[in-house]
Structure 1
Amino acid sequence: MNLPTRPAPEAFRETASDDYLLGGFTWRHIRTDPTRPVVIINAATSVRCRHYSRFADYLFAHGFDVITYDYRGIGESRSGSLRGFKASWSDWGALDFEAILQRAQREFPGQPIDVVGHSFGGCAAGLAASGAAIRRIVTVGAQFAYWRDYAASLRWRMFGKWHVVMPLVTTVCGYFPGKRLGWLEDTPAGVVRDWGTPTPRYETRPSGLTLGELPFSRVKAQILAISITDDPFGTVAAIERLLEYFESSERTHLRIAPEDIAEETVGHFAFFRSEYQDRLWPIALAWLQHAELKQGTPGRRI
């Protein structure tokens, strides 16, 4: 499919409840339509929102308004040095995503609100106090980065990289200089601490909240969780662990093997590359449009 000429997304600034200034982009149709959904794209940990621009173009071309944004300390939402900068996964969800969710309700009053969450972005979808406003969610490889859930063949290598080396470098530098090392974007120390915590349970992370106090149960959206068999983060155990938190939601887990789409590898990050707009993106589109998996959809339900 050839997408139409890319619209010029509007850059915006949004203030979170603690007065932190967030940055992002909006794809907005000229004519207001109360039936048109608006999609918020939640990025993976330390991946800039610009990574999802082509996917946002795709959704816009299919009739959605779209919002992308960066979490505090990342990309459009970074201001100065990250050394000593305070931010955590909880902040990214409870403060940053919440602010964007409120913005969507304010900027697109009455329109349905959907969310696409990549990796941590799927977790963030359950951390906003206004989560009840979400109609549908598509997650891709969404999990808590619990090391025991990593793919068995790579588990110890990944543990060493993400749970030993990354925290050690962060301790020395005061933040993780990921861009310099070629490991994602620079990352606040608090986020690295959350990632490195050796527990599968979100409520024991530094948020200090019990499961009953977390907002996940407020979300009553129709959820499609997409996982890829060669994604070492997104194993069945990892995906299912997160889905259990969305106890008030209707949940569907679709597991896709690269060979299902005539590929050798896809992994954790490739889903949002434009080369997959004809093979993988229609799966997310169909769910956002009708909360359904069309006949012939690659993969299998778990």
Structure 2
Amino acid sequence: MSPELQTEAPIESPIQIPATDGYPLGACLYYSDALHLPQTVAIINCATGVKAAYYARYAKFLAAHGYLAITYDYRGIGASRPASLRRLKATKFDWGSKDFEGIMSWVIKNIPDAKIVVVGHSIGGVLPGFSASNGRIDRLLTVGAQFAYWQDYAEHARYRMLLKWHVLMPLATTLAGFFPGRLLGWLEDLPAGVAYEWAFRGATLSQRHSSSIFSKPVKHQERCANTHYFAQLHCPLLAYSISDDNFGTPAAVMRLLRYYRGSDRTHVMVTPGEFALSEIGHFAFFHDRFGQNLWPESLAWLNTGNVSRQAVNFLPSEPISEPDTYRF
């Protein structure tokens, strides 16, 4: 794949792609050459409560370098939102096992010989672990990826974030029947199951509350099903942390990386000072201000697997004998 930027603007094609249960997902394809199928498909997984449109600039960047880039909204968000969120039963596990898996299935069916890479922001880096087809992924790049266990939040902001996301969010969700994020100015609206899952997440992915603040304990078989597929991912994984990201702290990122035991996992750190900035935070990696530095750096890894910055942690792949057992 040529590193040279294409001169023509990438083509944008809105499309609907069904999740594995038939739920229609709003998606968009970005590509540069309408006459030839790409050799590599990049699936971009959003953060919680962020529309796929936010990642359009990064998708166009990948498309300009020869990729077919796919952005899509999870059920309940953006172009995948139904008329009423109050009646939508959805969890983050559904986003991975049904929505992301549906995108994977569409790619495998329609472009069977393509190499598949995944870029996962925040919860988007967790979802491949819920996918039955994740063995087809050739590279996984994550940015601030974690599952919002509150004790991993940045120490200076931990109790403020605990109050906001783990007390006020479930309270607002109980009152409204969904999380009214837009009304509050806190990201997008969320299905109730997603909001509760975030608010009541424990230290492991096996601990989840799927439907309400009054959920019954999840059965052992269901807990195992949540993490069953993590171990079958065997591709290289590059995980970015941003030093001023209050969500994706090194502790939070490493907590997630320990699930992907079948992969070589490289953890790298980015600091605002590298770019003469005062902050980057959880979201700005995908802003086009980084189109001349971080984006080409990530592209080089997606193309070749060569890591251009020093690793702060490296976890080699492990022999997998008990895929449903995780130690922290």
TM-score (structure 2 length as normaliser)? 0.87
Letter of the 1:30 counterpart:
A
Q: Return the match for 2:34 from 16, 30, 37.
A: 30
Q: Following TM superposition, by how much is the alpha carbon of 1:209 offset from its aligned partner in structure 2, in angstroms? A: 2.2
Indicate conservation of the 8 Å contact 1:3/1:58, yes or no. Answer: no
Question: Contact 1:151 / 1:232 at 8 angstroms: preserved in 2?
Answer: yes
Aligned to 1:93: 96
The answer for the alignment partner of 2:306 in structure 1 is: 292
How far off its partner does 1:42 sit?
0.3
SS at match of 1:253: strand
Cα distance in structure 1, aligned partners of 2:15 and 2:111: 14
1:201 to 201, 204, 209: 204
Are 1:282 and 2:293 counterparts?
no
Q: Deviations over 1:48-82 (max 9, x none)?
A: 00000000010011111111100001011112111
How far apart in 1 are the matches of 2:91 and 2:293?
A: 34
Whole-angstrom CA distance in 2 between matches of 1:279 and 1:213: 35
> Which segment drifts farther, 54-63 or 254-263?
254-263
Query: What letter matches 2:139 in structure 1?
Result: R
Alpha-carbon distance, 1:126 to partner: 1.2
2:124 corresponds to which residue?
121
- Per-residue deviation, residues 196-234 of structure 1 (Å, max 9, x unmatched): 114110012147322785211111111000000100011
Q: 1: distance between equivalents of 2:298 and 2:169?
A: 32
Match of 1:139 in 2: 142
C-alpha displacement at 1:109, in angstroms? 1.8
User: Any stretches of 5+ residues in structure 2 without a counterpart?
Assistant: 211-221, 314-328
Where do 1:17-166 residues align within 5 Å? 17-28=20-31, 29-33=33-37, 36-166=39-169
Would you say the 8 A contact 1:49–1:75 is kept in 2? yes
Give secondary structure in 2 for the equivalent of 1:227.
strand
The answer to whether the Cα contact below 8 Å between 1:144 and 1:200 also exists between their aligned partners in 2 is: no
CA gap of 1:79–1:4, structure 2 versus 1, over 3 A, is: farther
Instruction: Find the residue that maps to 1:85 and give its secondary structure.
Output: coil
Structure 1 portions without partners, runs of 5+:
none
Percent identity over the alignment is: 45
Query: Which amino acid is 1:301 matched to?
Result: V
2-structure distance, mates of 1:212, 1:265 = 35
Q: CA RMSD in A?
A: 1.8
Q: Secondary structure at the match of 1:27?
A: strand
Q: TM-score, normalised by structure 1?
A: 0.94
How much does 1:8 deviate?
A: 3.0
